[in-house]
Amino acid sequence: MTTPCIIVQSNMEVLLNVDNEQYHEARDAIAPFTELVKSPEHFHTYSISHLSLWNAASIGLSASDVLTQLKKFSTYEIPAVVTTEITEYMGRYGILRLVLKDGNLILECDSDSLFLELCKRKEIQGYIESFISKNSAIVNPLVRGKLKILLTELGFPVKDLAGYIKGDSLNIELRQTLADSNAPWTLRDYQKDAAQVFYASGSERGGSGVIVLPCGSGKTIIGLVAITLVKAHTLILTPSVTAARQWIREILQKTNLTKDQVKEYSGDMKEIGPITVATYQILTQRKKTAPDSQVEEKEFTNFSLFSAQKWGLMIYDEVHLLPAPVFRFSADMQATRRLGLTATLVREDRKEKEVFSLIGPKKFDIPWRVLEAQGWIAQAKCHELRVSMDTELRMAYAVAPLREKIGIAGCNPEKFNVVKSLLKKHSDESDRILIIGQYIDQLESLAKEINVPLITGKTPNKERDKIYDSFRNGEIRILMVSKVGNFAIDLPDASILIQISGTFGSRQEEAQRLGRVLRPKKDGRQALFYSIVTKDSREQEFALNRQLFLAEQGYGYEIIN
Protein backbone atom coordinates (compact mmCIF):
# COMPACT_ATOMS: atom_id res chain seq x y z
CA MET A 1 0.00 0.00 0.00
CA THR A 2 1.33 3.44 -0.94
CA THR A 3 1.99 5.68 2.06
CA PRO A 4 0.00 8.93 1.99
CA CYS A 5 1.78 12.11 1.03
CA ILE A 6 -0.74 14.67 2.31
CA ILE A 7 -4.11 14.37 4.00
CA VAL A 8 -6.44 17.37 3.75
CA GLN A 9 -8.83 17.58 6.71
CA SER A 10 -12.15 19.35 6.99
CA ASN A 11 -10.80 21.72 9.70
CA MET A 12 -8.56 23.31 7.02
CA GLU A 13 -5.46 21.49 8.23
CA VAL A 14 -3.11 19.58 5.96
CA LEU A 15 -1.04 16.64 7.24
CA LEU A 16 2.22 16.19 5.33
CA ASN A 17 4.04 12.85 5.54
CA VAL A 18 7.74 13.53 6.08
CA ASP A 19 8.64 9.95 5.16
CA ASN A 20 6.98 10.06 1.74
CA GLU A 21 9.30 10.25 -1.28
CA GLN A 22 7.30 13.25 -2.56
CA TYR A 23 7.70 15.15 0.73
CA HIS A 24 9.98 17.92 -0.58
CA GLU A 25 7.94 18.49 -3.74
CA ALA A 26 4.66 18.55 -1.82
CA ARG A 27 6.02 20.88 0.88
CA ASP A 28 7.14 23.40 -1.73
CA ALA A 29 3.79 23.10 -3.53
CA ILE A 30 1.63 23.91 -0.48
CA ALA A 31 3.97 26.47 1.12
CA PRO A 32 2.52 29.51 -0.75
CA PHE A 33 -0.96 29.05 0.76
CA THR A 34 -0.39 27.34 4.13
CA GLU A 35 1.24 27.99 7.51
CA LEU A 36 3.15 25.34 9.45
CA VAL A 37 1.51 24.65 12.82
CA LYS A 38 3.60 21.79 14.24
CA SER A 39 6.34 19.49 13.06
CA PRO A 40 6.76 16.22 14.99
CA GLU A 41 8.75 13.33 13.52
CA HIS A 42 6.52 11.83 10.84
CA PHE A 43 3.57 14.10 9.98
CA HIS A 44 3.83 17.89 9.84
CA THR A 45 0.61 19.87 10.29
CA TYR A 46 -0.11 22.90 8.10
CA SER A 47 -3.06 25.27 8.39
CA ILE A 48 -4.91 26.97 5.53
CA SER A 49 -5.98 30.36 6.89
CA HIS A 50 -7.87 33.25 5.33
CA LEU A 51 -4.68 35.35 5.42
CA SER A 52 -2.56 32.65 3.81
CA LEU A 53 -5.15 32.34 1.03
CA TRP A 54 -5.25 36.12 0.50
CA ASN A 55 -1.47 36.28 0.34
CA ALA A 56 -1.54 33.49 -2.24
CA ALA A 57 -4.17 35.38 -4.23
CA SER A 58 -2.06 38.53 -4.11
CA ILE A 59 0.82 36.82 -5.94
CA GLY A 60 -1.51 35.56 -8.66
CA LEU A 61 -2.61 32.15 -7.44
CA SER A 62 -6.25 31.21 -7.97
CA ALA A 63 -8.49 28.87 -6.01
CA SER A 64 -8.14 26.45 -8.92
CA ASP A 65 -4.34 26.55 -8.58
CA VAL A 66 -4.52 25.80 -4.85
CA LEU A 67 -7.00 22.93 -5.25
CA THR A 68 -4.94 21.46 -8.10
CA GLN A 69 -1.86 21.26 -5.85
CA LEU A 70 -3.84 19.73 -3.00
CA LYS A 71 -5.42 17.13 -5.28
CA LYS A 72 -2.06 16.28 -6.85
CA PHE A 73 -0.56 15.14 -3.55
CA SER A 74 -3.63 14.21 -1.49
CA THR A 75 -4.23 10.56 -0.68
CA TYR A 76 -7.94 11.08 -0.15
CA GLU A 77 -10.61 13.24 -1.71
CA ILE A 78 -10.53 16.91 -0.66
CA PRO A 79 -13.41 17.55 1.81
CA ALA A 80 -16.17 19.62 0.20
CA VAL A 81 -16.02 22.21 3.00
CA VAL A 82 -12.33 22.85 2.24
CA THR A 83 -13.03 23.33 -1.46
CA THR A 84 -15.83 25.75 -0.63
CA GLU A 85 -13.75 27.71 1.89
CA ILE A 86 -10.77 28.07 -0.46
CA THR A 87 -12.96 29.12 -3.37
CA GLU A 88 -14.95 31.63 -1.32
CA TYR A 89 -12.10 33.32 0.51
CA MET A 90 -9.70 33.53 -2.41
CA GLY A 91 -12.59 34.97 -4.41
CA ARG A 92 -12.97 37.72 -1.81
CA TYR A 93 -9.55 39.19 -2.55
CA GLY A 94 -10.10 42.07 -4.95
CA ILE A 95 -13.90 42.12 -4.81
CA LEU A 96 -13.45 45.44 -2.95
CA ARG A 97 -11.13 48.02 -4.48
CA LEU A 98 -9.87 51.48 -3.67
CA VAL A 99 -9.36 53.63 -6.77
CA LEU A 100 -8.71 57.29 -7.51
CA LYS A 101 -11.19 59.06 -9.82
CA ASP A 102 -11.45 62.81 -10.48
CA GLY A 103 -9.32 63.48 -7.41
CA ASN A 104 -11.58 61.44 -5.12
CA LEU A 105 -10.75 58.23 -3.26
CA ILE A 106 -13.43 55.72 -4.26
CA LEU A 107 -14.33 52.43 -2.61
CA GLU A 108 -15.99 50.17 -5.19
CA CYS A 109 -17.34 46.65 -5.07
CA ASP A 110 -18.28 43.97 -7.61
CA SER A 111 -21.41 43.09 -5.62
CA ASP A 112 -24.22 45.58 -4.99
CA SER A 113 -25.69 43.54 -2.14
CA LEU A 114 -22.35 43.04 -0.40
CA PHE A 115 -21.53 46.73 -0.69
CA LEU A 116 -24.90 47.67 0.81
CA GLU A 117 -24.42 45.19 3.65
CA LEU A 118 -20.93 46.47 4.50
CA CYS A 119 -21.88 50.15 4.29
CA LYS A 120 -24.73 49.64 6.76
CA ARG A 121 -22.26 48.59 9.45
CA LYS A 122 -21.71 51.36 12.02
CA GLU A 123 -17.93 51.00 11.92
CA ILE A 124 -17.92 51.58 8.12
CA GLN A 125 -20.46 54.43 7.99
CA GLY A 126 -18.06 56.93 9.53
CA TYR A 127 -15.63 56.48 6.63
CA ILE A 128 -18.16 57.07 3.84
CA GLU A 129 -18.46 60.69 2.63
CA SER A 130 -21.07 60.17 -0.10
CA PHE A 131 -22.44 57.44 -2.37
CA ILE A 132 -21.86 57.50 -6.12
CA SER A 133 -23.83 54.38 -7.04
CA LYS A 134 -25.11 51.12 -5.60
CA ASN A 135 -21.60 49.72 -5.51
CA SER A 136 -19.28 52.73 -5.05
CA ALA A 137 -18.77 55.59 -2.63
CA ILE A 138 -16.34 58.42 -1.93
CA VAL A 139 -14.28 57.83 1.20
CA ASN A 140 -12.05 60.14 3.21
CA PRO A 141 -8.42 59.71 1.99
CA LEU A 142 -7.19 60.31 5.54
CA VAL A 143 -8.75 57.01 6.67
CA ARG A 144 -7.44 54.92 3.77
CA GLY A 145 -5.31 52.72 6.04
CA LYS A 146 -7.85 52.36 8.83
CA LEU A 147 -10.55 51.38 6.35
CA LYS A 148 -8.31 48.69 4.86
CA ILE A 149 -7.61 47.18 8.28
CA LEU A 150 -11.29 47.21 9.20
CA LEU A 151 -12.43 45.53 5.99
CA THR A 152 -9.71 42.88 6.30
CA GLU A 153 -10.93 42.14 9.83
CA LEU A 154 -14.46 41.78 8.42
CA GLY A 155 -13.17 39.20 5.95
CA PHE A 156 -13.11 41.34 2.80
CA PRO A 157 -9.57 42.57 2.08
CA VAL A 158 -9.32 45.63 -0.16
CA LYS A 159 -7.23 45.68 -3.30
CA ASP A 160 -5.69 49.15 -3.16
CA LEU A 161 -5.39 50.59 -6.67
CA ALA A 162 -5.58 54.25 -5.67
CA GLY A 163 -1.98 54.91 -6.62
CA TYR A 164 0.70 56.95 -4.89
CA ILE A 165 2.21 60.40 -4.68
CA LYS A 166 5.52 60.81 -6.54
CA GLY A 167 7.50 62.38 -3.72
CA ASP A 168 10.50 64.64 -4.28
CA SER A 169 12.60 63.33 -7.16
CA LEU A 170 16.03 61.78 -6.65
CA ASN A 171 18.65 61.04 -9.29
CA ILE A 172 19.90 57.65 -8.14
CA GLU A 173 21.54 54.85 -10.12
CA LEU A 174 23.29 51.62 -9.16
CA ARG A 175 27.04 51.55 -9.60
CA GLN A 176 28.65 48.72 -11.56
CA THR A 177 31.65 48.73 -9.22
CA LEU A 178 31.93 49.22 -5.46
CA ALA A 179 32.75 52.78 -4.43
CA ASP A 180 35.70 51.93 -2.15
CA SER A 181 37.43 49.19 -4.15
CA ASN A 182 36.13 49.51 -7.73
CA ALA A 183 35.47 45.75 -7.56
CA PRO A 184 32.65 44.74 -9.93
CA TRP A 185 29.35 43.48 -8.55
CA THR A 186 26.12 42.35 -10.18
CA LEU A 187 22.50 41.91 -9.24
CA ARG A 188 21.12 38.41 -8.89
CA ASP A 189 18.15 37.53 -11.08
CA TYR A 190 15.77 37.01 -8.15
CA GLN A 191 16.75 40.41 -6.72
CA LYS A 192 15.81 42.09 -9.99
CA ASP A 193 12.59 40.07 -10.20
CA ALA A 194 11.55 40.90 -6.62
CA ALA A 195 12.06 44.64 -7.12
CA GLN A 196 10.24 44.62 -10.47
CA VAL A 197 7.28 42.69 -9.03
CA PHE A 198 7.03 45.27 -6.25
CA TYR A 199 7.32 48.26 -8.61
CA ALA A 200 5.07 46.81 -11.35
CA SER A 201 6.36 49.32 -13.92
CA GLY A 202 5.19 52.17 -11.70
CA SER A 203 1.51 51.24 -12.00
CA GLU A 204 -1.03 51.31 -9.19
CA ARG A 205 -0.90 47.49 -9.14
CA GLY A 206 2.53 47.69 -7.56
CA GLY A 207 4.06 49.98 -4.98
CA SER A 208 3.02 48.25 -1.75
CA GLY A 209 3.86 44.82 -0.45
CA VAL A 210 6.27 42.53 1.34
CA ILE A 211 9.27 40.65 -0.05
CA VAL A 212 10.00 37.43 1.89
CA LEU A 213 13.55 36.08 1.47
CA PRO A 214 16.05 34.46 3.85
CA CYS A 215 18.74 36.35 5.71
CA GLY A 216 21.87 36.54 3.60
CA SER A 217 19.98 36.62 0.31
CA GLY A 218 20.47 40.37 -0.20
CA LYS A 219 17.15 41.95 0.77
CA THR A 220 18.96 45.27 1.22
CA ILE A 221 19.98 45.11 -2.45
CA ILE A 222 16.33 44.65 -3.42
CA GLY A 223 15.58 47.80 -1.45
CA LEU A 224 18.28 49.69 -3.38
CA VAL A 225 16.85 48.50 -6.70
CA ALA A 226 13.38 49.64 -5.59
CA ILE A 227 14.75 53.12 -4.79
CA THR A 228 16.37 53.35 -8.25
CA LEU A 229 13.04 52.40 -9.85
CA VAL A 230 10.99 54.91 -7.85
CA LYS A 231 13.69 57.63 -8.04
CA ALA A 232 12.28 59.62 -5.15
CA HIS A 233 13.18 60.64 -1.62
CA THR A 234 13.06 57.53 0.57
CA LEU A 235 12.58 56.84 4.28
CA ILE A 236 14.11 53.55 5.45
CA LEU A 237 13.05 52.25 8.88
CA THR A 238 15.27 49.67 10.62
CA PRO A 239 15.23 47.82 13.95
CA SER A 240 18.58 49.18 15.21
CA VAL A 241 21.32 51.75 14.72
CA THR A 242 23.65 48.97 13.57
CA ALA A 243 21.18 48.01 10.86
CA ALA A 244 20.72 51.65 9.87
CA ARG A 245 24.45 52.11 9.38
CA GLN A 246 24.67 48.94 7.32
CA TRP A 247 22.01 50.37 5.01
CA ILE A 248 23.95 53.63 4.71
CA ARG A 249 27.14 51.71 3.99
CA GLU A 250 25.45 49.68 1.24
CA ILE A 251 23.83 52.76 -0.34
CA LEU A 252 27.15 54.64 -0.51
CA GLN A 253 28.98 51.58 -1.81
CA LYS A 254 26.55 50.57 -4.53
CA THR A 255 24.85 53.74 -5.76
CA ASN A 256 25.95 57.11 -7.10
CA LEU A 257 24.71 58.94 -3.99
CA THR A 258 27.08 60.87 -1.71
CA LYS A 259 27.25 61.25 2.06
CA ASP A 260 25.41 64.56 1.79
CA GLN A 261 22.40 62.74 0.36
CA VAL A 262 22.21 59.80 2.81
CA LYS A 263 21.44 60.68 6.42
CA GLU A 264 20.94 58.86 9.71
CA TYR A 265 18.12 59.74 12.11
CA SER A 266 18.60 57.89 15.38
CA GLY A 267 19.33 58.46 19.05
CA ASP A 268 22.94 59.25 18.09
CA MET A 269 22.38 61.47 15.08
CA LYS A 270 19.36 63.42 13.85
CA GLU A 271 19.64 64.49 10.22
CA ILE A 272 17.17 64.25 7.34
CA GLY A 273 18.18 63.99 3.69
CA PRO A 274 16.94 62.65 0.35
CA ILE A 275 17.59 59.17 1.76
CA THR A 276 16.95 59.02 5.49
CA VAL A 277 17.63 55.86 7.46
CA ALA A 278 15.89 55.87 10.85
CA THR A 279 15.21 53.37 13.60
CA TYR A 280 11.80 52.15 14.72
CA GLN A 281 12.78 53.26 18.21
CA ILE A 282 13.24 56.91 17.24
CA LEU A 283 9.96 56.91 15.32
CA THR A 284 8.06 55.68 18.37
CA GLN A 285 9.81 57.98 20.83
CA ARG A 286 7.45 59.94 23.08
CA LYS A 287 8.10 63.25 24.80
CA LYS A 288 8.08 63.08 28.60
CA THR A 289 6.37 65.97 30.32
CA ALA A 290 6.93 65.04 33.97
CA PRO A 291 9.69 63.57 36.16
CA ASP A 292 10.42 59.86 35.73
CA SER A 293 8.55 59.04 38.92
CA GLN A 294 5.34 60.39 37.43
CA VAL A 295 5.82 60.10 33.70
CA GLU A 296 3.07 61.48 31.54
CA GLU A 297 3.73 60.90 27.85
CA LYS A 298 2.58 62.98 24.89
CA GLU A 299 2.13 61.94 21.28
CA PHE A 300 5.03 60.41 19.38
CA THR A 301 7.39 63.33 18.92
CA ASN A 302 8.82 62.38 15.51
CA PHE A 303 5.68 61.32 13.61
CA SER A 304 4.99 64.81 12.31
CA LEU A 305 8.65 65.39 11.49
CA PHE A 306 8.75 62.37 9.19
CA SER A 307 5.24 62.76 7.74
CA ALA A 308 6.01 66.37 6.77
CA GLN A 309 8.56 65.19 4.19
CA LYS A 310 7.57 64.36 0.60
CA TRP A 311 8.67 60.74 0.58
CA GLY A 312 8.17 58.73 -2.58
CA LEU A 313 9.01 55.40 -0.92
CA MET A 314 9.12 53.94 2.57
CA ILE A 315 11.09 50.77 3.27
CA TYR A 316 10.39 48.72 6.40
CA ASP A 317 13.41 46.53 7.16
CA GLU A 318 12.59 43.39 9.19
CA VAL A 319 8.90 44.24 8.81
CA HIS A 320 7.91 41.41 11.16
CA LEU A 321 9.43 43.55 13.95
CA LEU A 322 7.38 46.63 13.09
CA PRO A 323 6.30 48.06 16.48
CA ALA A 324 2.55 48.41 16.93
CA PRO A 325 2.68 52.27 17.15
CA VAL A 326 4.28 52.40 13.69
CA PHE A 327 1.11 50.85 12.26
CA ARG A 328 -0.59 54.12 13.10
CA PHE A 329 2.14 56.04 11.24
CA SER A 330 1.79 53.65 8.30
CA ALA A 331 -1.98 54.04 8.26
CA ASP A 332 -1.45 57.77 7.67
CA MET A 333 1.08 57.16 4.86
CA GLN A 334 -1.03 55.05 2.50
CA ALA A 335 -0.41 57.42 -0.43
CA THR A 336 3.32 56.65 -0.23
CA ARG A 337 4.82 53.53 -1.79
CA ARG A 338 5.67 50.98 0.93
CA LEU A 339 8.09 48.06 0.76
CA GLY A 340 8.44 45.53 3.59
CA LEU A 341 11.46 43.24 3.79
CA THR A 342 11.57 40.14 5.99
CA ALA A 343 12.70 36.54 6.31
CA THR A 344 9.39 35.53 7.88
CA LEU A 345 5.86 36.90 7.98
CA VAL A 346 5.36 35.31 11.40
CA ARG A 347 4.82 37.92 14.13
CA GLU A 348 4.81 37.02 17.81
CA ASP A 349 2.04 39.60 18.42
CA ARG A 350 -0.12 38.04 15.69
CA LYS A 351 -0.49 41.33 13.80
CA GLU A 352 0.06 39.76 10.39
CA LYS A 353 -3.25 41.23 9.19
CA GLU A 354 -2.03 44.74 9.98
CA VAL A 355 1.10 44.14 7.90
CA PHE A 356 -1.06 42.76 5.09
CA SER A 357 -3.44 45.75 5.18
CA LEU A 358 -1.04 48.65 5.78
CA ILE A 359 2.29 47.61 4.22
CA GLY A 360 0.77 45.32 1.61
CA PRO A 361 0.38 41.64 0.78
CA LYS A 362 3.22 39.25 0.10
CA LYS A 363 4.56 40.07 -3.37
CA PHE A 364 7.51 37.73 -3.75
CA ASP A 365 9.22 34.86 -1.97
CA ILE A 366 11.55 31.96 -2.69
CA PRO A 367 12.03 28.92 -0.40
CA TRP A 368 15.29 28.97 1.52
CA ARG A 369 16.37 25.58 0.22
CA VAL A 370 15.96 26.74 -3.40
CA LEU A 371 18.43 29.58 -2.86
CA GLU A 372 20.69 27.19 -0.99
CA ALA A 373 20.67 24.77 -3.93
CA GLN A 374 21.56 27.67 -6.26
CA GLY A 375 24.48 28.67 -4.04
CA TRP A 376 23.11 32.07 -3.02
CA ILE A 377 22.99 31.18 0.67
CA ALA A 378 25.19 28.72 2.54
CA GLN A 379 24.14 25.14 3.12
CA ALA A 380 23.18 24.71 6.75
CA LYS A 381 23.06 21.87 9.22
CA CYS A 382 21.10 22.28 12.47
CA HIS A 383 21.79 20.46 15.75
CA GLU A 384 19.86 20.52 19.01
CA LEU A 385 22.13 19.56 21.89
CA ARG A 386 20.17 18.48 24.97
CA VAL A 387 21.87 18.77 28.35
CA SER A 388 20.71 17.51 31.73
CA MET A 389 20.28 19.43 34.98
CA ASP A 390 22.29 18.38 38.02
CA THR A 391 20.43 17.29 41.15
CA GLU A 392 20.49 20.70 42.81
CA LEU A 393 19.26 22.56 39.72
CA ARG A 394 16.60 19.90 39.07
CA MET A 395 15.22 20.45 42.57
CA ALA A 396 15.21 24.26 42.14
CA TYR A 397 13.45 23.82 38.80
CA ALA A 398 10.84 21.48 40.29
CA VAL A 399 9.73 23.92 43.01
CA ALA A 400 9.98 27.11 40.93
CA PRO A 401 6.84 28.98 39.74
CA LEU A 402 5.91 28.21 36.14
CA ARG A 403 7.05 31.61 34.82
CA GLU A 404 10.54 31.11 36.29
CA LYS A 405 11.16 27.61 34.96
CA ILE A 406 12.22 28.74 31.48
CA GLY A 407 14.87 31.06 32.95
CA ILE A 408 16.27 28.33 35.20
CA ALA A 409 16.47 25.90 32.29
CA GLY A 410 17.86 28.55 29.94
CA CYS A 411 20.71 29.39 32.33
CA ASN A 412 21.68 25.77 33.07
CA PRO A 413 25.44 25.94 33.96
CA GLU A 414 26.02 22.64 32.14
CA LYS A 415 25.65 24.59 28.89
CA PHE A 416 29.04 26.22 29.49
CA ASN A 417 30.77 22.83 29.17
CA VAL A 418 28.97 22.19 25.89
CA VAL A 419 30.05 25.58 24.53
CA LYS A 420 33.67 24.88 25.50
CA SER A 421 33.47 21.48 23.82
CA LEU A 422 32.13 23.04 20.62
CA LEU A 423 34.84 25.71 20.62
CA LYS A 424 37.45 23.00 21.01
CA LYS A 425 35.86 21.06 18.13
CA HIS A 426 35.82 24.14 15.89
CA SER A 427 39.26 25.51 16.74
CA ASP A 428 40.45 26.13 13.20
CA GLU A 429 41.58 29.71 12.61
CA SER A 430 39.22 29.94 9.62
CA ASP A 431 36.14 29.23 11.77
CA ARG A 432 34.11 32.34 12.63
CA ILE A 433 31.84 31.61 15.59
CA LEU A 434 28.89 33.57 16.98
CA ILE A 435 27.55 32.72 20.45
CA ILE A 436 24.11 34.20 21.12
CA GLY A 437 21.77 34.11 24.10
CA GLN A 438 18.90 35.71 25.97
CA TYR A 439 20.12 36.21 29.55
CA ILE A 440 22.71 38.94 30.16
CA ASP A 441 24.09 37.48 33.43
CA GLN A 442 24.62 34.15 31.70
CA LEU A 443 26.38 35.79 28.76
CA GLU A 444 28.60 37.95 30.95
CA SER A 445 29.72 34.94 32.99
CA LEU A 446 30.44 32.85 29.91
CA ALA A 447 32.22 35.70 28.11
CA LYS A 448 34.51 36.16 31.10
CA GLU A 449 35.13 32.42 31.42
CA ILE A 450 36.12 31.88 27.77
CA ASN A 451 37.57 35.39 27.30
CA VAL A 452 35.61 36.60 24.26
CA PRO A 453 34.06 40.03 23.54
CA LEU A 454 30.38 40.49 24.33
CA ILE A 455 27.88 42.90 22.73
CA THR A 456 24.64 43.67 24.59
CA GLY A 457 22.03 46.40 24.45
CA LYS A 458 24.20 48.48 26.78
CA THR A 459 27.22 48.42 24.47
CA PRO A 460 27.63 51.90 22.89
CA ASN A 461 27.02 51.96 19.15
CA LYS A 462 30.58 53.10 18.37
CA GLU A 463 32.01 50.19 20.35
CA ARG A 464 29.58 47.75 18.67
CA ASP A 465 30.66 48.91 15.24
CA LYS A 466 34.32 48.54 16.18
CA ILE A 467 33.83 44.98 17.49
CA TYR A 468 31.75 43.95 14.46
CA ASP A 469 34.45 45.34 12.15
CA SER A 470 37.10 43.37 14.05
CA PHE A 471 35.04 40.21 13.58
CA ARG A 472 34.58 40.91 9.87
CA ASN A 473 38.28 41.45 9.20
CA GLY A 474 39.37 38.42 11.20
CA GLU A 475 40.94 40.12 14.24
CA ILE A 476 38.29 38.42 16.37
CA ARG A 477 37.39 34.78 15.66
CA ILE A 478 34.71 34.28 18.34
CA LEU A 479 32.04 36.85 19.23
CA MET A 480 29.24 36.71 21.78
CA VAL A 481 26.05 38.75 21.41
CA SER A 482 22.77 39.13 23.27
CA LYS A 483 19.45 39.26 21.43
CA VAL A 484 20.58 42.54 19.82
CA GLY A 485 22.40 40.22 17.42
CA ASN A 486 19.18 38.64 16.18
CA PHE A 487 18.63 41.14 13.42
CA ALA A 488 20.33 42.86 10.53
CA ILE A 489 23.97 42.14 11.31
CA ASP A 490 26.11 41.74 8.21
CA LEU A 491 28.76 39.23 9.25
CA PRO A 492 29.35 37.33 5.99
CA ASP A 493 32.17 35.10 7.27
CA ALA A 494 30.30 33.79 10.35
CA SER A 495 29.93 30.07 9.72
CA ILE A 496 29.01 28.65 13.14
CA LEU A 497 26.32 29.86 15.53
CA ILE A 498 25.91 28.54 19.07
CA GLN A 499 22.58 29.44 20.69
CA ILE A 500 22.68 29.00 24.46
CA SER A 501 19.24 30.48 25.23
CA GLY A 502 16.33 32.08 23.44
CA THR A 503 13.06 33.97 23.74
CA PHE A 504 10.51 31.34 24.76
CA GLY A 505 9.06 29.73 21.60
CA SER A 506 9.86 32.51 19.13
CA ARG A 507 9.78 31.13 15.57
CA GLN A 508 10.97 34.42 14.10
CA GLU A 509 13.99 34.49 16.40
CA GLU A 510 15.07 31.00 15.38
CA ALA A 511 14.85 31.95 11.71
CA GLN A 512 16.77 35.19 12.24
CA ARG A 513 19.50 33.51 14.24
CA LEU A 514 20.09 30.84 11.62
CA GLY A 515 20.18 33.69 9.12
CA ARG A 516 23.25 35.12 10.84
CA VAL A 517 25.34 32.28 9.33
CA LEU A 518 23.56 31.79 6.00
CA ARG A 519 25.52 34.31 3.97
CA PRO A 520 27.56 32.31 1.43
CA LYS A 521 31.16 31.67 2.46
CA LYS A 522 34.13 32.42 0.19
CA ASP A 523 35.38 28.84 0.61
CA GLY A 524 31.89 27.34 0.19
CA ARG A 525 31.84 25.83 3.67
CA GLN A 526 28.66 24.61 5.34
CA ALA A 527 26.96 26.71 8.03
CA LEU A 528 26.46 25.03 11.40
CA PHE A 529 23.73 25.96 13.87
CA TYR A 530 23.88 24.56 17.40
CA SER A 531 21.00 25.11 19.80
CA ILE A 532 21.75 24.06 23.39
CA VAL A 533 18.59 23.11 25.28
CA THR A 534 18.00 21.79 28.79
CA LYS A 535 16.51 18.32 28.57
CA ASP A 536 13.06 17.55 30.04
CA SER A 537 12.25 21.19 30.72
CA ARG A 538 10.01 24.01 29.53
CA GLU A 539 12.91 25.12 27.36
CA GLN A 540 12.77 21.83 25.44
CA GLU A 541 9.02 22.31 24.93
CA PHE A 542 9.56 25.84 23.58
CA ALA A 543 12.36 24.57 21.34
CA LEU A 544 9.83 22.47 19.42
CA ASN A 545 7.88 25.62 18.52
CA ARG A 546 11.06 27.56 17.70
CA GLN A 547 11.95 24.92 15.12
CA LEU A 548 8.66 25.31 13.24
CA PHE A 549 9.90 27.96 10.85
CA LEU A 550 13.04 26.03 9.95
CA ALA A 551 11.02 22.86 9.42
CA GLU A 552 8.75 24.87 7.11
CA GLN A 553 11.82 25.78 5.07
CA GLY A 554 12.99 22.17 4.91
CA TYR A 555 15.69 22.20 7.58
CA GLY A 556 15.84 19.24 9.94
CA TYR A 557 17.38 19.16 13.43
CA GLU A 558 19.73 16.42 14.52
CA ILE A 559 18.90 15.78 18.18
CA ILE A 560 21.92 14.93 20.31
CA ASN A 561 21.60 14.06 24.01
- Give me the amino acid identity at 530: Y
Residues in the chain: 561
Taking only the tens place, the pLDDT of each residue in 18-35 is 889 998 899 889 989 998
What's the rounded mean pLDDT across residues 252-258?
96
pLDDT at position 296, please? 44
Q: For the residues 217-244, what does the mean pLDDT come to?
A: 94
**CATH class of segment(s) 189-366:** alpha beta
DSSP 357: I
User: What's the whole-number mean pLDDT along residues 313-323?
Assistant: 89
Kindly state the average pLDDT of the residues 240-248: 90
Pick the CATH number of 373-560 from 3.80.10.10, 1.20.120.420, 3.40.50.300, 3.30.43.10: 3.40.50.300
What's the pLDDT tens digit per position in 98-135?
Answer: 999 999 999 999 999 999 999 999 989 889 999 999 99
Strongest mean pLDDT among 324-328, 345-349, 436-440, 506-510: 436-440
- The reported pTM is 0.84
For the chain, the average pLDDT equals 88
Question: Is 272 or 561 the better-scoring residue by pLDDT?
Answer: 272
Cα radius of gyration rounded to whole Å, the chain: 25
Domain 99-161 has CATH 3.30.70: yes
| Residue range 217-228: mean pLDDT, rounded | 95
β partners of residue 36:
46
User: For 396-428, how does the pLDDT look when each residue is reduced to its tens digit (9 = 90+)?
Assistant: 999 999 889 999 999 999 999 999 999 999 998
Beta bridge partners of 278: 237, 265
Domain extents in the chain: 6-92, 99-161, 189-366, 373-560
373-560 shares the fold of 99-161: no
pLDDT for position 328:
80
Between CA 242 and CA 463 the distance in angstroms is 11
Strand 136-139 relative to strand 43-47, pairing = unpaired
What integer pLDDT is reported at residue 298 of this predicted model?
A: 55
Q: What residue type is assigned to position 490 of the chain?
A: D
d(C-alpha 412, C-alpha 407), whole Å: 9
Residue 295 has pLDDT above 50, yes or no: no
